[in-house]
């Protein structure tokens, strides 16, 4: 019987560091779902990030 993975795995790093690549490979190896973080952002924020523009607090919807 194989190992059971019940937790969440969060891969963090700076832009262009390979988070998506590592996350996808880890998910395949563990046979678990992979969620791309950029898919959780509105399209406007994805465009900003792709252009190298840092997200502001207002753009993220945070109230800090």
Written as tens digits, the pLDDT of the chain (64 aa) is 566 767 789 999 887 899 999 999 999 998 899 999 888 889 999 899 889 888 888 888 776 5
Contacts of 55 (CB under 8 A, 6+ apart): 45, 48, 49
Q: How many CB atoms lie within 10 A of CB 28?
A: 10
């Amino acid at each position: 019987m194989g190992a059971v993975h019940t937790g969440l795995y969060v891969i963090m790093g700076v832009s262009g560091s390979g988070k998506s690549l590592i996350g996808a490979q880890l998910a395949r190896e563990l046979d678990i779902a992979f969620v791309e973080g950029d898919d959780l952002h509105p399209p406007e924020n994805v465009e900003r990030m792709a252009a190298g523009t840092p997200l502001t607090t207002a753009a993220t919807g945070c109230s800090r």
